[in-house]
Structure 1
Amino acid sequence: MSAPSHHGFSLTRRIAAKADAVWNVILTPNRHWAAAFGEGTRVETDWAEGSPILWLDDEGHIGASGRVEELRTGQSLRLRYHDMAARDAGAALGTYTETFILVSDPPGHTELRVQIDATPHMDNAAHRALWDAALDRIQAQAEMSD
Protein backbone atom coordinates (compact mmCIF):
# COMPACT_ATOMS: atom_id res chain seq x y z
CA MET A 1 0.00 0.00 0.00
CA SER A 2 1.37 3.39 -0.87
CA ALA A 3 1.91 5.99 1.81
CA PRO A 4 -1.04 8.32 2.36
CA SER A 5 -0.81 11.86 1.07
CA HIS A 6 -0.26 14.69 3.52
CA HIS A 7 -4.03 15.16 3.31
CA GLY A 8 -4.82 11.59 4.31
CA PHE A 9 -4.33 8.91 6.90
CA SER A 10 -4.27 5.14 7.37
CA LEU A 11 -5.95 3.02 10.02
CA THR A 12 -5.36 -0.66 10.81
CA ARG A 13 -7.45 -3.14 12.81
CA ARG A 14 -6.65 -6.74 13.71
CA ILE A 15 -9.99 -8.53 13.63
CA ALA A 16 -10.72 -11.95 15.15
CA ALA A 17 -12.61 -13.13 12.07
CA LYS A 18 -11.81 -14.69 8.71
CA ALA A 19 -11.16 -12.38 5.77
CA ASP A 20 -14.39 -13.43 4.03
CA ALA A 21 -16.44 -12.37 7.07
CA VAL A 22 -14.68 -8.98 7.15
CA TRP A 23 -15.14 -8.60 3.38
CA ASN A 24 -18.89 -9.30 3.67
CA VAL A 25 -19.24 -6.63 6.36
CA ILE A 26 -17.36 -4.07 4.25
CA LEU A 27 -19.73 -4.71 1.33
CA THR A 28 -22.86 -4.44 3.50
CA PRO A 29 -22.44 -1.10 5.27
CA ASN A 30 -26.14 -0.20 5.42
CA ARG A 31 -27.56 -0.34 8.96
CA HIS A 32 -24.09 -1.31 10.21
CA TRP A 33 -20.83 0.59 9.88
CA ALA A 34 -22.19 3.34 7.62
CA ALA A 35 -24.03 4.69 10.67
CA ALA A 36 -20.66 5.88 12.01
CA PHE A 37 -21.02 8.71 9.47
CA GLY A 38 -24.59 9.49 10.56
CA GLU A 39 -27.61 7.38 11.49
CA GLY A 40 -29.44 6.27 8.37
CA THR A 41 -26.40 6.64 6.10
CA ARG A 42 -26.58 4.14 3.27
CA VAL A 43 -24.80 3.24 0.04
CA GLU A 44 -26.16 2.47 -3.41
CA THR A 45 -23.81 0.42 -5.62
CA ASP A 46 -23.40 -3.09 -7.01
CA TRP A 47 -19.68 -3.06 -6.01
CA ALA A 48 -18.58 -4.05 -9.53
CA GLU A 49 -15.35 -2.45 -10.71
CA GLY A 50 -16.22 0.74 -12.62
CA SER A 51 -19.71 0.99 -11.11
CA PRO A 52 -21.03 4.18 -9.56
CA ILE A 53 -21.21 4.48 -5.78
CA LEU A 54 -23.56 6.86 -4.03
CA TRP A 55 -23.67 7.55 -0.27
CA LEU A 56 -26.96 9.01 0.98
CA ASP A 57 -28.14 10.32 4.34
CA ASP A 58 -31.40 9.22 5.97
CA GLU A 59 -33.31 11.87 4.01
CA GLY A 60 -31.86 10.79 0.66
CA HIS A 61 -29.43 13.70 0.29
CA ILE A 62 -26.16 12.82 -1.45
CA GLY A 63 -23.16 12.81 0.86
CA ALA A 64 -20.64 11.43 -1.62
CA SER A 65 -20.62 10.05 -5.14
CA GLY A 66 -17.95 8.30 -7.12
CA ARG A 67 -16.88 5.00 -8.64
CA VAL A 68 -15.58 1.61 -7.59
CA GLU A 69 -12.09 2.06 -8.98
CA GLU A 70 -10.59 -1.34 -8.17
CA LEU A 71 -12.01 -4.54 -6.74
CA ARG A 72 -10.07 -7.69 -5.90
CA THR A 73 -12.68 -9.87 -4.21
CA GLY A 74 -11.77 -10.71 -0.64
CA GLN A 75 -8.50 -8.76 -0.84
CA SER A 76 -8.87 -5.08 -1.66
CA LEU A 77 -11.30 -2.38 -2.70
CA ARG A 78 -10.54 1.16 -3.85
CA LEU A 79 -13.21 3.82 -4.18
CA ARG A 80 -12.64 7.23 -5.78
CA TYR A 81 -15.05 10.12 -5.33
CA HIS A 82 -16.04 13.37 -6.99
CA ASP A 83 -14.79 16.50 -5.22
CA MET A 84 -18.38 17.75 -4.99
CA ALA A 85 -20.99 15.38 -3.53
CA ALA A 86 -23.76 15.78 -6.10
CA ARG A 87 -21.77 15.54 -9.34
CA ASP A 88 -23.02 14.14 -12.62
CA ALA A 89 -22.02 10.46 -12.76
CA GLY A 90 -20.01 11.19 -15.91
CA ALA A 91 -17.99 14.02 -14.35
CA ALA A 92 -14.27 13.62 -13.69
CA LEU A 93 -13.43 12.04 -10.37
CA GLY A 94 -11.60 14.01 -7.69
CA THR A 95 -8.65 13.16 -5.47
CA TYR A 96 -10.50 11.64 -2.49
CA THR A 97 -10.04 7.86 -2.29
CA GLU A 98 -10.79 5.11 0.20
CA THR A 99 -8.77 1.90 -0.03
CA PHE A 100 -9.56 -1.24 1.98
CA ILE A 101 -6.92 -4.01 2.16
CA LEU A 102 -7.47 -7.35 3.92
CA VAL A 103 -4.63 -9.65 4.99
CA SER A 104 -5.16 -13.00 6.77
CA ASP A 105 -3.02 -12.89 9.92
CA PRO A 106 -2.89 -15.64 11.32
CA PRO A 107 -5.60 -18.04 10.09
CA GLY A 108 -8.94 -17.01 11.55
CA HIS A 109 -7.80 -13.41 11.99
CA THR A 110 -7.69 -10.55 9.52
CA GLU A 111 -5.74 -7.35 9.41
CA LEU A 112 -7.88 -4.63 7.84
CA ARG A 113 -6.05 -1.57 6.56
CA VAL A 114 -7.99 1.47 5.43
CA GLN A 115 -6.15 4.25 3.64
CA ILE A 116 -7.87 7.58 3.11
CA ASP A 117 -6.40 10.05 0.64
CA ALA A 118 -8.38 13.16 1.48
CA THR A 119 -8.74 16.57 -0.08
CA PRO A 120 -6.92 19.65 1.29
CA HIS A 121 -10.14 21.25 2.59
CA MET A 122 -11.10 18.20 4.68
CA ASP A 123 -10.75 18.25 8.48
CA ASN A 124 -8.44 15.24 8.87
CA ALA A 125 -8.90 14.88 12.64
CA ALA A 126 -12.69 14.85 12.43
CA HIS A 127 -12.70 12.56 9.40
CA ARG A 128 -10.25 10.18 11.07
CA ALA A 129 -12.51 10.00 14.15
CA LEU A 130 -15.46 9.02 11.93
CA TRP A 131 -13.40 6.32 10.23
CA ASP A 132 -12.13 5.06 13.60
CA ALA A 133 -15.76 4.62 14.69
CA ALA A 134 -16.58 2.91 11.38
CA LEU A 135 -13.73 0.43 11.88
CA ASP A 136 -14.98 -0.29 15.41
CA ARG A 137 -18.35 -1.20 13.87
CA ILE A 138 -16.78 -3.28 11.09
CA GLN A 139 -14.71 -5.18 13.65
CA ALA A 140 -17.67 -5.84 15.97
CA GLN A 141 -19.94 -6.98 13.13
CA ALA A 142 -17.30 -9.26 11.55
CA GLU A 143 -16.41 -10.86 14.88
CA MET A 144 -20.10 -11.52 15.64
CA SER A 145 -20.78 -13.05 12.22
CA ASP A 146 -17.70 -15.29 11.96
Structure 2
Amino acid sequence: MEKLFVDESIVINASSAKVWEALTNRIYSDKWATEFSSGGPQFSIESDWNLGSPVLWKGQDGTVIVEGNVTALKPHKILRFTVFDVRSSERPAVTEEDGITFKLSEQDGKTTLHILQGDFSVMNDGEKYRDLSTEIWEKVLPKVKSMAEQINNRIT
Protein backbone atom coordinates (compact mmCIF):
# COMPACT_ATOMS: atom_id res chain seq x y z
CA MET A 1 0.00 0.00 0.00
CA GLU A 2 1.17 3.53 -0.80
CA LYS A 3 2.38 5.52 2.19
CA LEU A 4 0.20 8.42 3.28
CA PHE A 5 1.80 11.54 4.76
CA VAL A 6 0.79 15.10 5.50
CA ASP A 7 3.44 17.13 3.68
CA GLU A 8 3.16 20.91 4.17
CA SER A 9 5.56 23.87 4.24
CA ILE A 10 5.47 27.56 5.08
CA VAL A 11 8.04 30.36 4.79
CA ILE A 12 8.43 32.39 7.97
CA ASN A 13 10.09 35.80 8.27
CA ALA A 14 12.12 34.78 11.30
CA SER A 15 15.29 32.93 12.18
CA SER A 16 15.16 29.18 12.71
CA ALA A 17 15.84 29.81 16.42
CA LYS A 18 12.64 31.88 16.69
CA VAL A 19 10.62 29.28 14.77
CA TRP A 20 12.05 26.59 17.05
CA GLU A 21 10.90 28.62 20.04
CA ALA A 22 7.38 28.89 18.61
CA LEU A 23 7.31 25.11 18.13
CA THR A 24 8.82 23.97 21.43
CA ASN A 25 8.18 26.64 24.07
CA ARG A 26 5.01 25.66 25.91
CA ILE A 27 3.76 29.25 25.92
CA TYR A 28 3.50 28.99 22.11
CA SER A 29 2.95 25.27 21.52
CA ASP A 30 -0.21 25.36 23.65
CA LYS A 31 -1.58 28.00 21.26
CA TRP A 32 -1.02 26.03 18.07
CA ALA A 33 -1.92 22.68 19.67
CA THR A 34 -5.48 23.89 20.22
CA GLU A 35 -6.13 23.38 16.49
CA PHE A 36 -5.91 19.62 17.08
CA SER A 37 -8.85 19.67 19.49
CA SER A 38 -11.36 20.12 16.63
CA GLY A 39 -13.80 21.94 18.85
CA GLY A 40 -13.23 19.56 21.77
CA PRO A 41 -11.24 20.15 24.93
CA GLN A 42 -8.07 22.23 24.59
CA PHE A 43 -4.75 20.41 24.33
CA SER A 44 -1.42 21.28 25.84
CA ILE A 45 1.87 19.68 24.86
CA GLU A 46 4.40 18.77 27.52
CA SER A 47 7.98 17.78 26.72
CA ASP A 48 11.51 18.88 27.48
CA TRP A 49 12.25 18.15 23.79
CA ASN A 50 15.36 16.08 24.44
CA LEU A 51 16.11 12.97 22.39
CA GLY A 52 14.09 10.05 23.79
CA SER A 53 11.95 12.27 26.03
CA PRO A 54 8.21 11.80 26.25
CA VAL A 55 5.87 14.12 24.37
CA LEU A 56 2.48 14.24 26.07
CA TRP A 57 -0.61 15.90 24.62
CA LYS A 58 -2.91 16.53 27.58
CA GLY A 59 -6.49 17.64 27.92
CA GLN A 60 -7.53 20.48 30.23
CA ASP A 61 -7.99 18.03 33.10
CA GLY A 62 -4.41 16.74 32.71
CA THR A 63 -5.42 13.44 31.11
CA VAL A 64 -2.93 12.22 28.52
CA ILE A 65 -4.71 11.92 25.17
CA VAL A 66 -1.74 11.44 22.84
CA GLU A 67 1.72 10.27 23.82
CA GLY A 68 4.97 9.74 22.04
CA ASN A 69 8.70 10.23 22.26
CA VAL A 70 11.27 12.47 20.59
CA THR A 71 12.98 10.27 17.99
CA ALA A 72 15.16 12.80 16.13
CA LEU A 73 16.63 16.08 17.29
CA LYS A 74 18.97 18.69 15.83
CA PRO A 75 18.07 21.99 17.54
CA HIS A 76 16.84 24.65 15.12
CA LYS A 77 16.95 22.10 12.26
CA ILE A 78 14.92 18.93 12.88
CA LEU A 79 12.51 17.62 15.47
CA ARG A 80 10.64 14.31 15.11
CA PHE A 81 8.37 12.68 17.63
CA THR A 82 5.92 9.80 17.59
CA VAL A 83 2.23 10.27 18.31
CA PHE A 84 -0.15 7.60 19.63
CA ASP A 85 -3.74 8.17 20.67
CA VAL A 86 -3.84 6.46 24.08
CA ARG A 87 -7.59 5.84 23.64
CA SER A 88 -6.77 3.44 20.79
CA SER A 89 -5.70 -0.07 21.70
CA GLU A 90 -3.96 -0.44 18.34
CA ARG A 91 -0.35 0.76 18.06
CA PRO A 92 1.06 0.15 14.62
CA ALA A 93 4.76 -0.52 14.14
CA VAL A 94 6.73 2.70 13.76
CA THR A 95 9.43 3.35 11.19
CA GLU A 96 12.11 6.02 11.44
CA GLU A 97 10.05 8.42 9.31
CA ASP A 98 6.78 8.04 11.26
CA GLY A 99 5.28 10.56 13.62
CA ILE A 100 5.50 14.33 13.23
CA THR A 101 8.68 15.77 11.74
CA PHE A 102 9.52 19.47 11.72
CA LYS A 103 12.37 20.44 9.39
CA LEU A 104 13.66 23.99 9.50
CA SER A 105 15.94 25.53 6.90
CA GLU A 106 17.05 29.15 7.20
CA GLN A 107 18.22 31.40 4.39
CA ASP A 108 18.51 35.19 4.28
CA GLY A 109 16.71 35.66 7.59
CA LYS A 110 13.72 33.54 6.54
CA THR A 111 12.97 30.00 7.66
CA THR A 112 11.11 27.36 5.72
CA LEU A 113 9.21 25.13 8.13
CA HIS A 114 8.40 21.76 6.59
CA ILE A 115 5.99 19.42 8.39
CA LEU A 116 5.72 15.74 7.60
CA GLN A 117 3.22 13.57 9.49
CA GLY A 118 2.38 9.93 8.92
CA ASP A 119 2.43 7.19 7.81
CA PHE A 120 -1.37 7.03 7.83
CA SER A 121 -1.50 4.01 5.49
CA VAL A 122 -1.06 1.68 8.49
CA MET A 123 -4.37 2.89 9.98
CA ASN A 124 -7.91 1.89 9.12
CA ASP A 125 -9.36 4.81 7.09
CA GLY A 126 -5.82 6.19 6.81
CA GLU A 127 -6.63 8.44 3.86
CA LYS A 128 -9.46 10.07 5.83
CA TYR A 129 -7.19 10.72 8.84
CA ARG A 130 -4.41 12.05 6.62
CA ASP A 131 -6.85 14.49 4.99
CA LEU A 132 -8.20 15.62 8.37
CA SER A 133 -4.66 16.12 9.66
CA THR A 134 -3.76 18.12 6.53
CA GLU A 135 -6.68 20.48 7.24
CA ILE A 136 -5.44 20.96 10.81
CA TRP A 137 -1.83 21.67 9.73
CA GLU A 138 -3.16 24.23 7.25
CA LYS A 139 -4.45 26.11 10.34
CA VAL A 140 -1.46 25.37 12.59
CA LEU A 141 1.30 26.54 10.24
CA PRO A 142 -0.01 30.14 9.88
CA LYS A 143 -0.30 30.30 13.69
CA VAL A 144 3.31 29.14 14.10
CA LYS A 145 4.35 31.67 11.43
CA SER A 146 2.59 34.53 13.20
CA MET A 147 4.01 33.65 16.61
CA ALA A 148 7.58 33.15 15.31
CA GLU A 149 7.44 36.49 13.48
CA GLN A 150 6.18 38.20 16.66
CA ILE A 151 9.00 36.58 18.66
CA ASN A 152 11.48 37.68 15.97
CA ASN A 153 10.25 41.28 16.08
CA ARG A 154 10.10 41.73 19.84
CA ILE A 155 12.67 43.95 21.48
CA THR A 156 14.91 42.09 23.91
Q: What residue is the counterpart of 2:31 in the other structure?
A: 32
C-alpha displacement at 1:133, in angstroms?
0.9
* Superimposed CA distance per residue, residues 21-60 of structure 1 (whole angstroms, 9 cap, x where no aligned partner): 0000010244321111126310121111001111012233
Higher Rg? 2
**Structure 1 unmatched runs, 5+:** none
Q: Distance in 1 between matches of 2:19 and 2:45?
A: 17
Q: Give aligned-pair identity as a percent.
A: 23
* Superimposed CA distance per residue, residues 61-100 of structure 1 (whole angstroms, 9 cap, x where no aligned partner): 3221010011101110010133x4258xxxx874351000
Q: 1:45 to 1:140 in 2, by over 3 A?
A: same
Q: Distance in 1 between matches of 2:19 and 2:93?
A: 28
Q: Distance in 2 between matches of 1:30 and 1:19?
A: 16
SS in 1 for 2:19: helix
What TM-score, normalized to structure 2? Answer: 0.78
Q: 1:81 to 1:31 in 2, by over 3 A?
A: closer
Q: Distance in 2 between matches of 1:51 and 1:30?
A: 16
**Structure 2 unmatched runs, 5+:** none
Equivalent residue runs for 1:33-112 within 5 Å: 33-38=32-37, 40-82=42-84, 84-85=85-86, 94-95=93-94, 96-105=98-107, 107-112=108-113
Residues 79 and 101 in structure 2, CA contact (< 8 A), matched pair in contact too: yes
Deviation larger for 109-118 or 25-34 = 25-34
SS in 1 for 2:30: coil
What TM-score, normalized to structure 1? Answer: 0.82
Number of aligned pairs?
Answer: 136
Q: What residue is the counterpart of 1:129 in the other structure?
A: 135
